[in-house]
């Protein structure tokens, strides 16, 4: 009869449960921790057998991310990594802003002025996002080659905008659908025009949702690999592509360097995960599951 005591569902649990959950979470988080530790190790510590958990931390790897052969400080040439970081941020940022503007308009349209075949449009839009990128990439590759967009900022930004658009539309529409139309109707009664209703009444109510959508789209774009691999050139290369290239290095993999890149890359992601916890569910399901 004892186990009747055990309460299921959301209930309160004490410090004991915290300890248990802490251990489980740490084990789950361990791969991330291990990479972060590796980023602070010297090459010998990284390759040591058995693995070292306690060591003297060094920042050499982080310096090496940006400066080639930091040891001989004389001609510490740039590795071009700040360019890749800039590319990642610039490309992701611009395409997310574009996608957000176009997506907000479209989702407002879908939500408040449904067309005939509204659901079909939405379905097709979601499908473009669900389809394996590998299918789209073949013709896009040809198209970019033909139009000279290959390796340019404008090309990859346009592609990423289109890539973020289905997500933004579904996400923002789910926020628009949630707010009551009473206030809008009342504003219309009072003589507000559609533009006023949209900017003064609708948008402020979905502000938080727009922010969440933007951050999600940023992360998704920030992480994207395949399109960037095939469509960016030396000048427009993003961080994930550079990571993969470092991994496929000819003279053995410099794990410390790679770990440092991953660690830098990881910080914004972890921060966002922590901040966005309440919107995460909606975000990862494209707004199809709210709660």
For another protein, the binding residues in 224-243 under the rule CB under 8 A are 224-226, 230, 240, 243
| Residue with Cβ nearer another protein (63 or 102) | 102
Which window, 60-68, 72-80, 178-186, 221-229, contacts another protein (CB under 8 A)? 221-229
Three-state secondary-structure class, residue 179: coil
257 vs 38: CA distance, rounded Å = 9
| Residue with Cβ nearer another protein (16 or 73) | 16
145 vs 157: CA distance, rounded Å = 15
| Residue with Cβ nearer another protein (73 or 91) | 91
Among 57, 59, 115, 154, binds another protein (CB under 8 A): 115
Structure token pair of residue 31: 């791969």
| Residue with Cβ nearer another protein (76 or 90) | 90
Residues in 82-111 that interact with another protein by CB under 8 A: 102-103, 105-106, 108-110
Among 71, 130, 208, 267, binds another protein (CB under 8 A): 130
Among 14, 74, 250, 251, binds another protein (CB under 8 A): 14
HSE at residue 142, side-chain half, CA atoms within 13 A, is 4
* 154 lies in the binding site for another protein (CB under 8 A): no
**Residues 212, 218, 224, 227: is their CA dihedral positive or negative?**
positive
Residues in 29-68 that interact with another protein by CB under 8 A: 29, 31-32, 34-35, 38, 46-51
Residue 78 bridge partners (DSSP):
67
16 vs 70: CA distance, rounded Å = 48
DSSP collapsed to 3 states, 65-110 = HHECCCCCHHHCCECCHHHHHHHHHHHHHHHHHHHHHHHHHHHHHH
Residue 67 bridge partners (DSSP):
78
45 vs 57: CA distance, rounded Å = 10
Among 71, 183, 186, 244, binds another protein (CB under 8 A): 244
Residue 173's nearest CA partner among 123, 224, 116, 223 is 123
| Residue with Cβ nearer another protein (90 or 141) | 141
* 256 lies in the binding site for another protein (CB under 8 A): no
* 143 lies in the binding site for another protein (CB under 8 A): yes
179 vs 181: CA distance, rounded Å = 6
- DSSP summary character for residue 225: -
Residues in 157-196 that interact with another protein by CB under 8 A: 158-159, 161-163, 165-166, 169, 190-191, 193-194
**Shortest CB 217 distance to another protein, Å:** 13
**Shortest CB 63 distance to another protein, Å:** 20
**Shortest CB 83 distance to another protein, Å:** 18
Residue 219's nearest CA partner among 163, 158, 154, 258 is 163
Residues in 191-210 that interact with another protein by CB under 8 A: 191, 193-194
């Amino acid at each position: 009869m004892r186990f009747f005591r055990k309460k299921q569902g959301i209930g309160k649990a004490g410090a004991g449960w915290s300890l248990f959950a802490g251990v489980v979470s740490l084990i789950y988080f361990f791969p991330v921790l291990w990479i972060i530790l590796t980023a602070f190790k010297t090459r010998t510590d990284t390759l040591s057998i058995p693995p070292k958990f306690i060591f003297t931390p060094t920042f050499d790897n982080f310096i090496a991310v940006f400066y080639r052969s930091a040891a001989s400080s004389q001609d510490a040439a740039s590795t071009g990594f700040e360019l890749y970081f800039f590319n990642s941020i610039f490309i992701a940022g611009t395409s997310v802003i574009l996608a957000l503007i176009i997506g907000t308009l479209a989702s407002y349209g879908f939500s408040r002025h449904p067309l005939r075949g509204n659901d079909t449009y939405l379905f097709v839009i979601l499908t473009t996002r669900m389809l394996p990128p590998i299918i789209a990439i073949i013709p896009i590759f040809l198209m970019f080659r033909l139009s000279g967009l290959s390796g340019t900022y404008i090309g990859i930004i346009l592609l990423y905008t289109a890539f973020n658009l289905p997500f933004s539309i579904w996400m923002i529409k789910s926020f628009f659908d949630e707010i009551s139309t009473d206030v809008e109707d009342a504003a219309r009664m009072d003589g507000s025009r559609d533009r006023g209703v949209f900017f003064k009444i609708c948008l402020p109510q979905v502000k938080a949702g727009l922010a969440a959508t933007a951050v999600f789209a940023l992360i998704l774009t920030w992480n994207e690999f395949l399109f960037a691999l095939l469509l960016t050139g030396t000048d427009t290369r993003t961080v994930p592509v550079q990571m993969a290239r470092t991994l496929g290095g000819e003279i053995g993999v410099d794990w410390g360097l790679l770990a440092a890149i991953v660690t830098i890359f990881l910080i914004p992601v972890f921060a966002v995960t922590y901040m966005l916890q309440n919107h995460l569910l909606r975000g990862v399901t494209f707004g199809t599951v709210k709660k």
